[in-house]
Amino acid sequence: MFNGSGVAIVTPFKGGKVDFEAFDKLINFHLNNDTQALIVLGTTGEATTQNDEEREAVIKAAVAKVNKKIPVIIGTGGNDTAKSVKHTKQAEDLGADGVLVVTPYYNKATQKGLIAHFTAIANASKLPNILYNVPGRTNVNINPDTVAQLAKIDNIIGIKEASGNISQVLEIKRLVPEGFKIYSGNDDQVIPVYSAGGHGVISVSANVIPKEMQQMCGAFETGDVKEALRLQLKYKLFIDLLFSEVNPIPVKAAVSLMGYCENELRLPLTTMEDANLAKLEAEMKQLQII
């Protein structure tokens, strides 16, 4: 799929509808600033509040705009296996390059259930599947031995690991085949995950600092660990502020401050608290982002 920085891109809204003009500009921004993959309709893209018609239109717009320059990976996971299968087939039919499949939330599947769920989705298409482990949101963890078992399926090719547990990342690395991709799901752990054998990041921060996130990844990949760590630390406070409220509230505000889209979210998400927004804006000015 890719090494380096892939962006979990926001979905711009205007007047309650998807703002495709802004979406086009955002994708251009990433194509011109070294983003290595576009991850569409994930958590950051507010996928759970978009209907099937909107999903289709967003996927079509992303695939057409990117035009195979970088991989377009669609979030197709959920807590209904049949619906995830449907969304995965849709992504394949519309020309996507891969899918990102989150663990089922609320249902709290067992490890046996996770294996059955991810296997059914993988078998539904020929697209590469990236597992997405984010227990802070889903309240279920994919255990390393479960990842290893799923990695035996040909088109399950990697995992976005957002548990925050570096020991777990190391255990996954120990168990999976050499070519299996491990992406950080936490922007403040890009370099630690690389150090544990990872291959990059699926990033929220890259919505705002795409070139810098790829520079961080590229520095590590070329052996300049000192520079990679310098960049990780330089943007540490900014990353923390992007998660001072639930994602994607702060990053939508940040992208809006840059002039790329409206600061509009869909309920139950609401706009950022004024005090937190002031801190985010101040740090963006300090870093000369705006």
Q: Which residues are catalytic?
A: 132, 160
Q: Which two tokens stand for residue 148?
A: 């290893």
Q: Which two tokens stand for residue 255?
A: 């992208």
Q: Which two tokens stand for residue 31?
A: 């194509």
Return the amino acid letter for 193: V
Beta pairing partners, 7:
38, 203
